[in-house]
Every structure is written in C-alpha cells, then in structure tokens.
C-alpha cells in the first residue's frame, strides 16, 4: 500500500511528540512492506531522505498558526501541489497528521484516495472543526482516553479509532545493582518541550530543600509555538528558577530521538508535570521502557500508561506534591524496585509494528 503523511512541522529529530510518534508509525509501516512518504514544509526537506517532500509552503524557522495561515492565504497552489504529490505517489491512503499543521482543515486529496485525520490532542478551534466538516474517511487518535475526552466534549466519535503511539528507539535497562545506585543518588531526568502547560518552570521552583540529587532537564524548542517568543519565555523562566533552586539543575538542549531512552536509563525517575491531561505522553513511555518510574498527575493517559510503575498525585495539587511523591518512592526500596520491575512491561507492546498494524486495521 502507498501511504502519505502530511505534517508541516515534521523533520528528523524534531523535538515534539507528534513528530516522534509519527516517525515510529512510519517506521512500522515500512517494516510491514508499505511505501511511505512524508509531505512537510519546504524548510524541513534536504536531509538526504527522498521520502521527505516539500509541500511548497515556506515557513519561518519557528512558526505559529498565524504564520501558517498567512503562508496559505491563497490555498489553491498548496492544494494543487499536495494533490500532485499524492497522485504521483499513487497514494492509497493519506493521513493529515494534524488539523492545521497536517493540512487537515484543507484536506487536499484527489477523489479515490482514502483520507485519515490524526488527532493527537483535543482541539475545539475553527480549524479543527473544519477538518472534521470536510469529512475524513477515518479519524484516529493515540489513545482511548482522547476518544472519551472528545465524546465528553460533545463530538460525534462514531468510527474513531485509537492507534497507540510506539517507541521509536529502545535501550537496555540498567542492571539491578545500577538501578539501586540510581535510587540512592541518581538524577531526576526530564525530557520536555518548552510549552507553558508542561509546568517545568513551576516544577523547578518547587524543588524541595534537601533533595540531595541533581535534576537534569532536556528542554526542547520545537519549530512551532502558540505565540511569538513563547518558547523563549518558557526557557527564561526555567533558567531563572534553576538559578534559585536548592539543588543543581542542568538545562540541556533537545535530544535526538534515539538518545531519549538512554537518557532516561540513567535516571532515578522522571516527573511528568503537565498541568492538563496528556493524551499519550511519549516521554513517560520512553522512561518506562528502560525501567525508570514515572511520577505524574492522575489524569489523562499517563496513569494507564504507567500503571504500577507510576505514582500519581491528585490533579490540581501544586508541583510540590509531585516532588513529595518522588521523594517517598525513592526512600522506599521495595516500592521503588517493584515499580522499576513493572515498568518495561507497561510499554512492551507499543512497538512500531504494533502501531502500524493498528493503523492499517483502522483505515482499511
């Protein structure tokens, strides 16, 4: 089968969850023998990968949706370009990987090509509503939680299907002796995008006195943001909080996709401090894959993903509650090692092959 994805923010190692999960899905589809291309913004081509094709859209290095709408103020040339790509590829299925950045609201597919809208986070804006109105043949999400969330918001989710995200890369979990050493003195490690709702600056500001270990945060700036300067604002707030913290806090740049599991393998635990429900959470899955426990809020998909390998606190609690949960777990060897033992099993089925099989099952 010939399958095309459209995601204007997609590039190799783009530091955001949708891009990483889409890469894993494409890898699984290729392993299954399908021919897969990605249609992206012109700025993201030129990596030596012929499967990355420019959509004829020029965007700034960091773009907002306003930039996107300005670039396609006259959508006709872009629609013609995408249709031509799909025809030349002899596409059977095209997946608009987002309502806006995936051009789902324009849905420029020729007749006869099956169309799929991917929803990674619940939106209520006009572009999302338009992406539904144009009538994709199938809507897919990354979790059953997101489908239930959409139903509760009043959307008709008849025929929606969950295609769980997959782990693009894996690493070896630490041996028991190393894991115990991490429990005693290993760092708390976090990999996160510089987005206000991720709650990172607030989490840093809440680091308790006497934590007794380093906090290492890979803080990623994506190629998109909600308003100009958003990511710089978040990074500045994190840096200010780090300077005042009672523990050593290291802020590192984004990691390459395949480096993330190894990063988490060297952590005592990770904390997901997002203040709104995560529909999946790639960082949690990657931490679990190497036996690293997850602390987070008890909403969204994270509690289901982590299961007994996680400790969840009540939504709405301040970030100090996350640190308290982390401290309790690290101080309890039995509970800690039970969590690490359970961790990898929580995500062992989330392979590219499984994600690809779910995708094909949903769209055919």
In three-state form (DSSP H/G/I as H, E/B as E, the rest C), the secondary structure along 187-202 is CEEEEEECCHHHCHHH
- CA 242-243-245 angle, 5° bins: 60
- Ordered structural domains, the chain, with CATH: 2-163 (3.40.50.2000), 176-347 (3.40.50.2000)
41: alpha, beta or left? (left if phi > 0; alpha if psi -120 to 50): beta
Q: What per-residue confidence (pLDDT) applies to 82?
A: 97
Report the candidate in 16, 76, 29, 57 with the shortest Cα–Cα distance to residue 223. 16
Quote the distance between the C-alpha of residue 15 and its chain's center.
9
Could you report the per-residue pLDDT of 288-297, keeping only the tens digit for each?
999 999 999 9
Beta bridge partners, 190, equal 217
Indicate if the alpha-carbon torsion angle 347, 352, 357, 361 is positive or negative.
positive
Q: What per-residue confidence (pLDDT) applies to 48?
A: 78
154: alpha, beta or left? (left if phi > 0; alpha if psi -120 to 50): left
Q: How far apart are CA 161 and CA 142, in angstroms?
A: 8
Residue with token string 């997101």 = 146
Q: What per-residue confidence (pLDDT) applies to 283?
A: 97
Q: Check: CB of residue 182 under 8 Å from CB of residue 214.
A: no
Tokens for 93, please give them. 């299925």
Could you report the per-residue pLDDT of 161-187, keeping only the tens digit for each?
999 999 999 999 999 999 999 999 999
Q: What per-residue confidence (pLDDT) applies to 25?
A: 98
Q: What per-residue confidence (pLDDT) applies to 203?
A: 98
Q: Which residues of 185-211 are buried (b: 16+ CB within 10 A; e: fewer)?
A: ebbbbbbbbbbbebbbbbbbbbbeeeb
Q: What per-residue confidence (pLDDT) applies to 46?
A: 81
Under-50 pLDDT residues of the chain? none
Other CB atoms closer than 10 Å to residue 220's CB: what's the count? 20
Q: What per-residue confidence (pLDDT) applies to 29?
A: 98
Quote the distance between the C-alpha of residue 10 and its chain's center.
12
């Amino acid at each position: 089968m010939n399958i095309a994805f459209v995601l204007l923010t997609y590039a190799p190692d783009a530091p955001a969850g949708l891009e990483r999960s889409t890469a894993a899905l494409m890898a699984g589809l290729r392993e299954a023998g399908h021919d897969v291309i990605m249609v992206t913004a012109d700025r993201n081509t030129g990596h030596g990968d012929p499967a990355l094709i420019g959509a004829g859209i020029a965007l700034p290095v960091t773009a907002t949706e306003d930039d996107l709408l300005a670039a396609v103020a006259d959508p006709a040339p872009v629609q013609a370009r995408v249709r031509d790509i799909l025809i030349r590829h002899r596409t059977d299925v095209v997946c608009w990987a987002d309502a806006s950045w995936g051009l789902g609201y324009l849905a420029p597919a020729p007749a006869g090509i099956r169309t799929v809208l991917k929803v990674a986070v619940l939106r209520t804006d006009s572009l999302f509503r338009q992406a539904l109105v144009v009538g994709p043949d199938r809507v897919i999400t990354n979790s059953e939680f997101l489908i239930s969330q959409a139903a509760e918001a009043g959307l008709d989710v008849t025929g929606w299907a969950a295609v769980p995200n997959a782990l693009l890369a894996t690493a070896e979990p630490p041996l028991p002796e190393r894991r115990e050493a991490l429990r005693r003195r290993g760092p708390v490690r976090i990999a996160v995008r510089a987005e206000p709702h991720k709650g990172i600056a607030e989490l840093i500001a809440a680091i308790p006195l006497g934590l007794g270990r380093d906090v290492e945060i890979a803080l990623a700036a994506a190629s998109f943001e909600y308003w100009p300067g958003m990511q710089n604002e978040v990074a500045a707030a994190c840096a200010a909080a780090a300077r005042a913290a009672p523990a050593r806090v290291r802020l590192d740049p984004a990691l390459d996709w395949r480096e993330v599991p190894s990063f988490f393998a060297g952590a005592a635990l990770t904390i997901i401090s997002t203040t709104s429900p995560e529909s999946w959470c790639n960082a949690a899955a990657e931490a679990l894959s190497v036996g690293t426990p997850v602390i987070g809020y008890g909403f969204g998909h994270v509690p289901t993903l982590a299961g007994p390998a996680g400790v969840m606190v009540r939504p709405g609690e301040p970030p100090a509650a996350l640190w308290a949960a982390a401290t309790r777990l690290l101080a309890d060897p039995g509970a800690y090692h039970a969590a690490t033992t359970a961790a990898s099993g929580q995500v062992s089925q989330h392979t590219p092959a499984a994600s690809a099989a779910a995708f094909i099952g949903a769209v055919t």
